[in-house]
Amino acid sequence: MNGTTPDTDRRGVEEPGSTGRPSSSGTTRPETARSGPAGHGPSSDTIIEVRDLTRDFRVRNGPKVRRVTAVDHMTWSVTRGEAVGYIGANGAGKSTTIKMLAGILVPTGGEVLTCGLRPVQDRRRLARRIGVVFGQRSQLWWDLPVRESFGILAAIHSLPRDEERARTAELVGMLDMGSYLATPVRQLSLGQRMRAEVAAALLHRPELLILDEPTIGLDVLSKQRLREFLIRERREHGTTLLLTTHDMGDVERLCDRILVVDHGTLAYDGTLDGLSRTVGAERVLVVDLAEPCPDLTVPGARHLASEGDGLRQHLAFDPGTTTAARVLASVAEHAEVLDLTIAEPDIEDVVRRIYERGAGSPGN
Amino acid sequence: MNRTLSGLREASQPYRAVLASRIRAQRSYRTSFRADLVGTAVVGLTEVAEVLVLFSAANGTLGGLDLRQALLVFALSELAYSLADMVFGHVDELAVLVREGQVDVFYLRPQPLLAQVVTMDISLRRIGRASLAVVVLAWALVANDIDWGATSVPLLVISLVCGVAIFGANFVTAGGLQFFLLNAHEVTNAFVYGGRHASTQPATVWLRSVTVIFGFVFPMAFCAYLPAMLLLGEPGAEWLPAWLGWFAPVAALWAWTTALLAWRFGIRHYQGGGG
């Protein structure tokens, strides 16, 4: 597993469960690439290479010892500069994969190269080139002011004085942390602490930032701030992002590529848009009407539900065949529209459908 | 020379930064720090009392040693142990660090794991217990009939350094085992604290099995009993003759070899701190 084999045919191995994968080589689509730097393609170098990666755990249940496979022969790679969402249900193998990428866990089988290094053997060299934020762990010293934690981390990464000062100032400015730099970490709000954690992981200017559930428990405003920062950090420094999340907002706003993992295997690799199209995710138009109205029948859309004697109606449509404007225009022919909302495809719903398809089809 | 010195300064910078912050943090809570100092000294006092009670129950002699001699053994062990506990004691709490996910964080930093775990904290409050041990040791060195020839002072220094190293190695072994045996505290306590306790006693009263385990596997006899016998000019115990005391550095080396092997084995079998 430690042998370095030449990396030809990076994404050549199709996962058995993968549904048709549209342009998986990091091609950015306008809908999903709000944050993506342009101009990188399959020819740019690979920053994460996972080949046939497997990790088993021994689970003791009374006297019996079971082997559980958390990651099962996974093969994929990430190109430098990409922003990749790594999603899946709890226990799908996300954190296990990340720990193998960072050198925390030893793979049971297969091969992994992060920044061209073998994570377990070259852990210390790798630590200088990646930043990792675990939503549930802290890099900071709970009893020290944020500023002092940064100072210690700068010493840990052997940053020269002026470099430390410049980078800290930049991060403090971008993450708006000036007001609480002197506050001990234990007194920070969750949102403040997460920003400090992200800054701590980026202090040494890593090429690759891995975020494990970075927005878990954050309020809407804190999430938004963090996402805006990550988009900017990526734009300005070309940092590669790999993030696991349960929040579809994270994926939609930050990621130009999605890997869906299910029971330790790769179920999908491609864009969010492609994912929605592949499993047929529809958007839902919700209209509030001036007067009660019988269930609407509109060409290109499907009536889902009505509330309040038809004052509010839910219509599903496929963005691939019609547009929201056309559906709305048809509705307007029947009744006066007071207000409307359009629900984006729900990522959890999409992922669930992939799971259902996977469970239904043989050989997966 | 200057170059290696500045290189060493640079390499130790990460550890010094962490340790300095730990020391600042402990000193910033003055009242509680003072209370802790007194607390650890009281623990030490209890240990002394135990020896006194034991000897009065045994009519003043135990395993061929009188109370003064036994207090020399006790004080050597107690000083080495409390210093080791100050520097390495928290390594024995590794299972807690694993559960809290702190170990995962150490993996993300470019320093060796063991060095990070050792330097993550220093328990200055143990100075209380160490100070008491110094007092008892000074008294025992004066009260006993010791030939202060050319070898006694170097012997004393070597024994203390090796004693700290051996106790420290025990903590590291315990930590290494806790990487994958998260409920192994009872097992590791057996040699960490059992070993400490055994080392305060004259080895002549040890059972044969104890002599093997704490004489050679976990070489506790080299921390206090053997050097004390050399200082006192006593012959030592069966299987543990006093002259073995000169081999304390070898014992320390052996203890660290097993400790580092246990640690390495632990790292390789780390299962992660959960999702």
Report angle CA A220, A222, A224 to the nearest 5 degrees.
Answer: 70
pLDDT for residue A359: 55
Report angle CA A260, A265, A266 to the nearest 5 degrees.
Answer: 35
A185 SS3 class: helix
Q: Which residues contact A107 (CB under 8 A, 6 or more apart)?
A: A1, A53, A54, A55, A71, A100, A120
The shortest CB-CB distance from B107 to any of A90, A103, A151 is to A103
Residue A123 half-sphere exposure, CB side, CA atoms within 13 Å? Answer: 21
Rounded distance between C-alpha atoms, residue A141 and residue A156, angstroms: 13
E-state strands within A80-156: 83-87, 109-114, 130-134
CB atoms within 10 A of CB A144: 19
Between chain A and chain B, how many beta carbons pairs sit less than 8 Å apart?
73
Is residue B103 scored above 50 in pLDDT?
A: yes
pLDDT for residue B9: 84
pLDDT, one tens digit per residue, over A219-277 is 888 888 899 999 999 999 999 999 998 777 788 889 989 998 888 889 889 888 777 77
Is residue B35 scored above 60 in pLDDT?
A: yes
How far A59 CA sits from the closest chain B CA (Å)?
11
How far A321 CA sits from the closest chain B CA (Å)?
41
Is residue B272 scored above 80 in pLDDT?
A: no
The shortest CB-CB distance from A156 to any of B10, B111, B271 is to B111
pLDDT-above-90 percentage for chain B: 59
CB-based contact, B154 to chain A, within 8 Å: no
Query: Both tokens of residue A186?
Result: 């234990």
Residue A312's beta-bridge partner residues? A288, A307
Closest residue by Cα to residue A107 from A1, A213, A232: A1
Give yes or no for a contact between B81 and B199, defined as CB atoms under 8 angstroms apart: yes
Rounded distance between C-alpha atoms, residue B259 and residue B87, angstroms: 15
Mutate to test the interface with B, among A57, A98, A128, A137 (most CBs of B within 10 A): A137
Is residue A327 scored above 50 in pLDDT?
A: yes
Give mean pLDDT, residues B110-115.
94
CB atoms within 10 A of CB B265: 13
B10 and A137 in contact by Cβ < 8 A? no
pLDDT for residue A90: 76
Task: Categorize the per-residue pLDDT at B134 as very low, low, confident or very high, splitting at 50, 70 and 90.
Answer: very high
Contacts of B17 in chain A (CB under 8 A): 151-152, 155-156
Pairing of strands A83-87, A240-244: parallel
Give mean pLDDT, residues A59-82.
89
pLDDT for residue A347: 62
Q: What is the DSSP letter of A346?
A: P
Give mean pLDDT, residues A68-76.
92
CA dihedral sign of residues A345, A348, A352, A358: positive
Query: Both tokens of residue B200?
Result: 């305060």
The shortest CB-CB distance from A123 to any of B13, B107, B273 is to B107
Q: What is the DSSP letter of A51?
A: E
Q: Kindly report which listed range (A68-72, A202-206, A301-305) carries the lowest average pLDDT score.
A: A301-305
Give mean pLDDT, residues A287-312.
87
Contacts of A123 in chain B (CB under 8 A): 107
B101 and A127 in contact by Cβ < 8 A? no
Query: Both tokens of residue A151?
Result: 């100072």
CB-based contact, B10 to chain A, within 8 Å: yes
CA dihedral sign of residues B195, B199, B202, B208: positive
E-state strands within chain A: 46-61, 64-79, 83-87, 109-114, 130-134, 208-212, 240-244, 257-262, 265-270, 283-289, 301-307, 312-317, 337-343
pLDDT, one tens digit per residue, over B72-97 is 999 999 999 999 999 999 999 888 88
Rounded distance between C-alpha atoms, residue B165 and residue B159, angstroms: 10
Task: Categorize the per-residue pLDDT at A13 as very low, low, confident or very high, splitting at 50, 70 and 90.
Answer: very low
Q: Indicate the average pLDDT of chain A.
A: 81
Task: Categorize the per-residue pLDDT at B188 as very low, low, confident or very high, splitting at 50, 70 and 90.
Answer: confident
Rounded distance between C-alpha atoms, residue A161 and residue A129, angstroms: 19
pLDDT for residue A44: 52
CA end-to-end span of chain B = 48
Is residue A113 scored above 90 in pLDDT?
A: yes
pLDDT for residue A18: 39
Task: Categorize the per-residue pLDDT at B30 as very low, low, confident or very high, splitting at 50, 70 and 90.
Answer: confident
Mutate to test the interface with B, among A66, A99, A157 (most CBs of B within 10 A): A99
CB-based contact, B107 to chain A, within 8 Å: yes
Give the residue, A305 or A171, on which the prediction is more confident: A171
Rounded distance between C-alpha atoms, residue A311 and residue A200, angstroms: 51
What is the model's pTM? 0.80
pLDDT, one tens digit per residue, over B39-67 is 999 999 999 999 999 888 888 888 889 99
Q: Which of residues 144-173 of A touch B (CB under 8 A)?
A: 144, 148, 151-152, 155-158
Give mean pLDDT, residues B132-149.
94
Residue A67's beta-bridge partner residues? A58
Contacts of A105 in chain B (CB under 8 A): 270-272
Task: Categorize the per-residue pLDDT at A335 as very low, low, confident or very high, splitting at 50, 70 and 90.
Answer: confident
Task: Categorize the per-residue pLDDT at A104 as very low, low, confident or very high, splitting at 50, 70 and 90.
Answer: very high
Residue A185 half-sphere exposure, CB side, CA atoms within 13 Å? Answer: 19
Give the residue, A308 or A210, on which the prediction is more confident: A210
Give yes or no for a contact between B88 and B168, defined as CB atoms under 8 angstroms apart: yes
Query: From residue B202, how far is each of A59, A68, B38 by CA, in Å?
Result: 45, 50, 28
CB-based contact, A105 to chain B, within 8 Å: yes
How far B31 CA sits from the closest chain A CA (Å)?
17
Give mean pLDDT, residues A295-323.
85
Give mean pLDDT, residues A333-338.
89
Give yes or no for a contact between B187 and B224, defined as CB atoms under 8 angstroms apart: no
Q: What is the CA radius of gyration of chain B?
A: 20
Q: Which residues contact A306 (CB under 8 A, 6 or more apart)?
A: A295, A312, A313, A314
pLDDT for residue A215: 85
Task: Categorize the per-residue pLDDT at A318 as very low, low, confident or very high, splitting at 50, 70 and 90.
Answer: confident
Mutate to test the interface with B, among A141, A146, A156 (most CBs of B within 10 A): A156
Is residue A8 scored above 50 in pLDDT?
A: no
How far A90 CA sits from the closest chain B CA (Å)?
9
Contacts of B101 in chain A (CB under 8 A): 134, 136-137
Task: Categorize the per-residue pLDDT at A304 as very low, low, confident or very high, splitting at 50, 70 and 90.
Answer: confident
pLDDT, one tens digit per residue, over A164-213 is 999 999 999 989 899 999 999 999 998 899 999 999 999 999 999 999 98
Rounded distance between C-alpha atoms, residue B74 and residue B49, angstroms: 11
Q: Which of residues 233-272 of B touch A (CB under 8 A)?
A: 268, 270-272
Rounded distance between C-alpha atoms, residue B167 and residue B83, angstroms: 9
CB atoms within 10 A of CB A302: 13
Burial class (CB in 10 A: 0-12, 13-18, 19+), A360: exposed
Query: Both tokens of residue B144?
Result: 């006993």
Query: Both tokens of residue A170?
Result: 């930049």
Give mean pLDDT, residues A19-25.
39
Task: Categorize the per-residue pLDDT at A29 as very low, low, confident or very high, splitting at 50, 70 and 90.
Answer: very low
Task: Categorize the per-residue pLDDT at A342 as very low, low, confident or very high, splitting at 50, 70 and 90.
Answer: confident
pLDDT for residue B238: 85
Give yes or no for a contact between A72 and A134, defined as CB atoms under 8 angstroms apart: no
Q: Indicate the average pLDDT of chain B.
A: 90
Rounded distance between C-alpha atoms, residue B175 and residue B181, angstroms: 10
B102 and A152 in contact by Cβ < 8 A? no
Q: What is the DSSP letter of A238?
A: -
pLDDT for residue A364: 35
DSSP chain B: -HHHHHHHHHHHHHHHHHHHHHHHHHHHSHHHHHHHHHHHHHHHHHHHHHHHHHHHHTTTEETTEEHHHHHHHHHHHHHHHHHHHHHHGGGGGHHHHHHHTHHHHHHTSSS-HHHHHHHT---GGGHHHHHHHHHHHHHHHHHS-----TTHHHHHHHHHHHHHHHHHHHHHHHHHHHTT-TTTHHHHHHHHHHHHHHHTS-GGGS-HHHHHIIIIIS-GGGTTHHHHHHHHT--EETTEEGGGGGGHHHHHHHHHHHHHHHHHHHHHT---S--
CB-based contact, A139 to chain B, within 8 Å: yes
Query: In b/e form, how buried is each residue of A273-297, taking b as 16+ CB within 10 angstroms?
Result: bbbbbbbebbbbbbbebeeebeebe
Query: Both tokens of residue B51?
Result: 């020896």
